[in-house]
Structure 1
C-alpha cells in the first residue's frame, strides 16, 4: 500500500441550486470523519439558508467573490482571500454577484448534513 492517495475522481454532490460541489476528501468520498475538502463553484445569484454548523469551516476564494453574513455582519471575500468561521457560528453564504465564485471549503470535522443545522428558508 502506498503512503499517499491521489484523488482523481472526487464525489460530485448532487445539488438543485446550480452550485457545483466536488468533495475530494470527506464522508461521501472516502469516509473521513475528521476533515472534508471540497472544490466549489457558486453560480451568480446563489444563496443558502442561514445555518449554524457544528464544524469549523475554512474558505479560500480562487476567483470571483463570495458574501458571508456572520452574526449579522456582511463580509465579502475576493480571490486570494480566506476566512475561518468557528463552529456554532450562525452564517449565511451567497454569491449575489454577476460572476461565478470558485473556492475551496475545508471543514473540521468533515461536512455532514447532520452537523450543518440549516434553517428553513
Structure 2
C-alpha cells in the first residue's frame, strides 16, 4: 500500500490558557512535534491582551472575524476581517483585542511557536 502524502487534522491540540483566549493548534510542536511550522486557529475575547514579546519566529496572522490590535515596536496597527500581516522574527510586538467583539484568526509561525522562542516580557 502506497503511503499517504497528506495529513488531515481533525483533532487539534487545545492549548490551555488562563486569559480567555481559545487556541487550537492544528500543526506544530504541541500537536505533532513539528518544530518547523505551527498553524493555530484562535479566538481572542473582547478586552484580551498579551504582554510584549520578541519572538525568534516570523508570525503571520489572518483575521477571519472581528479586529485585532498590534503594537509593533512603537506603531499601533489594527487589522480587521480579511486582512493579514507578517511580523518578522526578533520584532518587539504586543497582541490585543481592545474591541467589543471577539476576534477570530489564524496564526502561522515559522519556525513553530514555542515558549522557549517567544520571549514574553513580565
Q: Which residue of 1 aligns with 2:20?
A: 18
Deviation, 1:3, is 1.2
Q: Please state whether the residue corresponding to 1:4 is helix, strand or coil.
A: coil
Secondary structure in structure 2 of the residue aligned to 1:58: strand
Alpha-carbon separation, structure 2, partners of 1:105 and 1:10? 14
* Residue among 51, 66, 69 paired with 1:67: 69
Question: TM-score, normalized by length of structure 2?
Answer: 0.98
Match of 2:8? 6
1:85 equivalent in structure 2: 87
Report the secondary structure of 1:40's partner residue. strand
Q: CA deviation at 1:42?
A: 0.2
Distance 2:92 2:39 in 1: 21
The residue correspondences of 1:1-121 to structure 2 (distance < 5 A) are: 1-120=3-122
TM-score (norm 1): 0.98
Please state whether the residue corresponding to 1:93 is helix, strand or coil.
strand
Q: Give the paired residue count.
A: 120
Stretches of 4+ aligned residues off by more than 6 angstroms: none
- What value does the CA root-mean-square deviation take over the aligned residues? 0.4
Q: Which runs of 5+ in 1 are unaligned?
A: none
Q: Deviations over 1:70-121 (max 9, x none)?
A: 011000000000000000000000000000000000000000000000000x
